[in-house]
Structure 1
Amino acid sequence: MPRRRLLLLLKPLDVYPSRGSNAQSRFSNPRILSYLDNRRKVHKDAINYCQDILRKKMVDWESIVRNNLCCPIRDVDLVVTVGGDGTLLQASHFMDDSVPVLGVNSDPTQMEEVEKYSSEFDATRSTGFLCAATVNTFEQVLENILEGRSSPSKLSRMSICVNSKLLSTYALNDVLIAHPCPATVSWFSFIIQENGKPTCPLVNCRSSGLRVSTAAGSTAAMLSAGGFAMPITSQDLQYIVREPIAPREAITSLMHGTIKSNQTMDVTWFCQKGLIYIDGSHVNHQLQLGDSITLSSTAPILKVFLPQHFLSSDL
């Protein structure tokens, strides 16, 4: 049997400040500095541990910092991301439906720490919603994958077309369509269609933007904005108009809803400027007055090894 080929994708180490004069001047509370230093150390230790485990396995592997990823990921049997959901999301933008990905949460939130510092600062670490492993479980989870005892789940992604041209990046979590300035009103219209026929009236909106999520992204910003959690393997999309300005009563119910797997959402943009943010703020596409955007769940799926609780529940 040929040796497996793995790519280890790493969250950068320099995301937290180290102790020093600049850091000291920014933070008057020394416990914040200690907390940030610890986060950096925990993440560094997690990287070293995962690399040590891979050295013991009968696999060929290489590591790359996610900021240096610029080409499609090919010719590997598995991608292992070490960081949090953000690292897994970034990996997904360079992957098709042929390679599975395993997320390792390198710095999980510690609830006792959150409670301890709650009166001083937010000590929440990484959620790792889509990460199936931590340092404590990585070796066993990896062994189960290599031995064929675990299978990846197929997560739906969102395709984005602008003026009938398909963007190269698929959204695993969500997209936000909004004006570049958050204080400026976003003006757009949308309609949901099935087989080229409208399923609802045209909706004209003035708001702070439009968010559309996949099932995987429905528990992130969408849930915080008043949406609902969807079954993780659902192929439907969910949308919500953010802070609509005085919608007519007849269309109030259309400010939030779902887009079925056989439907599309067609959006027309009426501002001079606009942006489509894909899975956060790092990947975006510029919009101009009159641009048309089509969103659907027709993108290639992504194979993800999910945490155990997903496999024994409806979510």
Structure 2
Amino acid sequence: MARRRLLLLLKPFDMYPAHQSNGLSRITNPKVFSYLDNRRKVHKDAINFCQDILRKKFVDWEPVLRSKLTQPIRDVDLVVTVGGDGTLLQASHFMDDSIPVLGVNSDPTQVEEVEEFSDQFDATRSAGYLCAATIKNFEQILDDILDGQTVPSKLTRMSICVNSQLLSTYALNDVLIAHPCPATVSRLSFRIKKEGQPCSPLVNCRSSGLRVSTAAGSTAAMLSAGGFAMPILSKDLQYMVREPISPGEANASLIHGVVKFDETMDTSWFCKEGLIYIDGSHVFYSLRHGDTIELSPRAPVLKVFLRHHISL
């Protein structure tokens, strides 16, 4: 039997180094400093733990810091990310639909800790919604994957075309179309199309932007903004106009809705400058007045190993 090939993608573990020279010396509350330094140690220990497990398996593997990932991921059988949802999202931008990914939440939120410090600071750690594993079950889940006892879920991603040109990055969570300055009004129009023909009225809006999410991203910013959580295996998209200015009766019912799998959302941008943010703030593309953006759920899926109760 051929040895499996794995890529181990790591969030840098020096996020909260305990050195006076890095600026943390400004933190006067020793509990905050201890909490931040503990997060670094927990993450570093998780990386070492996962590497120790891989050394025992019949696999070839290579560790790569996510900050060093610049080329498409190819020629591996599995990607394992160690960090949180952000690390898995970054990996997804370099993956097609042929390689599955397993996320390891290296620093899960501790409920007792959050309660203990709730009146002093936010002690929330990583949610890891898309991460099926922690160090407690990593080896068992990895063994199940290698033995073929578990299969990945196929998550819908979103493709983005600007002026009919397909962007190289697919969105796993969401897309935000907005002015670079959050205090500046975003001016745009959009409508839903099916087979190239309009199937909704044109919506003209002034707002703080337009957010469109996949099912996987519907429990993040979309839900926080008043949207609804979608079944994670749904093939549809959900959209919401952020903070619309005087939408008017005609548009009021259209500022939040769903784009079906066989539909697209066509948007026109009417500000001097704008940005398309993909899965957060790290990946973005520039817009100019008159640019058109087409969003579609018919992008290559991403194969992700999920926690059982989430994939149901």
Using the size of structure 1 for normalisation, the TM-score is 0.98
Match of residue 240 from structure 1: 240
C-alpha contact 1:109 1:127 (8 A) present in aligned 2:
yes
Q: CA deviation at 1:22?
A: 4.9
SS at match of 1:112: helix
Match of residue 203 from structure 2: 203
Q: CA deviation at 1:28?
A: 1.3
C-alpha contact 2:160 2:170 (8 A) present in aligned 1:
yes
Match of residue 136 from structure 2: 136
The one-letter code matched in structure 1 to 2:253 is S
**Cα distance in 1, alignment partners of residues 79 and 63 from structure 2:** 10
Match of residue 104 from structure 1: 104
Match of residue 157 from structure 1: 157
Match of residue 91 from structure 1: 91
SS at match of 2:122: coil
* 1:96-137 Cα distance to aligned partner (Å, 9 max, x none): 000000000000000000000001100000000000000000
**Cα distance in 1, alignment partners of residues 167 and 158 from structure 2:** 10
The one-letter code matched in structure 2 to 1:267 is T
* 1:135-161 Cα distance to aligned partner (Å, 9 max, x none): 000000000000000000000000000
**Cα distance in 2, alignment partners of residues 24 and 158 from structure 1:** 39
Match of residue 308 from structure 1: 308
Mapped pair 1:66 → 2:66: yes
Structure 2: any 5+ residue segments left out of the alignment?
Answer: none
Q: CA deviation at 1:19?
A: 3.8
Match of residue 42 from structure 2: 42
Match of residue 276 from structure 1: 276
Q: CA deviation at 1:23?
A: 3.8
C-alpha contact 2:175 2:277 (8 A) present in aligned 1:
yes
C-alpha contact 2:237 2:258 (8 A) present in aligned 1:
yes
Q: More deviation in 21-30 or 7-16?
A: 21-30
* 1:210-234 Cα distance to aligned partner (Å, 9 max, x none): 0000000000000001100001011
**Cα distance in 1, alignment partners of residues 22 and 70 from structure 2:** 32
Q: CA deviation at 1:25?
A: 3.7
The one-letter code matched in structure 2 to 1:40 is R
SS at match of 1:133: coil
* 1:23-63 Cα distance to aligned partner (Å, 9 max, x none): 45421111100000000000000000000000000000000
User: 1:22–1:80: structure 2 CA closer, same or farther, 3 Å change rule?
Assistant: closer
* 1:247-301 Cα distance to aligned partner (Å, 9 max, x none): 1112101010000000000000000000000000000000000000000011100
**Cα distance in 2, alignment partners of residues 36 and 23 from structure 1:** 13
**Cα distance in 2, alignment partners of residues 27 and 17 from structure 1:** 13
Pairs aligned (count): 312
**Cα distance in 2, alignment partners of residues 159 and 268 from structure 1:** 16
The one-letter code matched in structure 1 to 2:262 is N
C-alpha contact 1:101 1:303 (8 A) present in aligned 2:
yes
SS at match of 2:51: helix
**Cα distance in 1, alignment partners of residues 29 and 127 from structure 2:** 24
Q: More deviation in 144-153 or 302-311?
A: 302-311
User: 1:29–1:261: structure 2 CA closer, same or farther, 3 Å change rule?
Assistant: same
**Cα distance in 1, alignment partners of residues 163 and 145 from structure 2:** 41
Q: CA deviation at 1:15?
A: 1.6
SS at match of 1:31: helix
Q: CA deviation at 1:198?
A: 1.2
Match of residue 261 from structure 2: 261
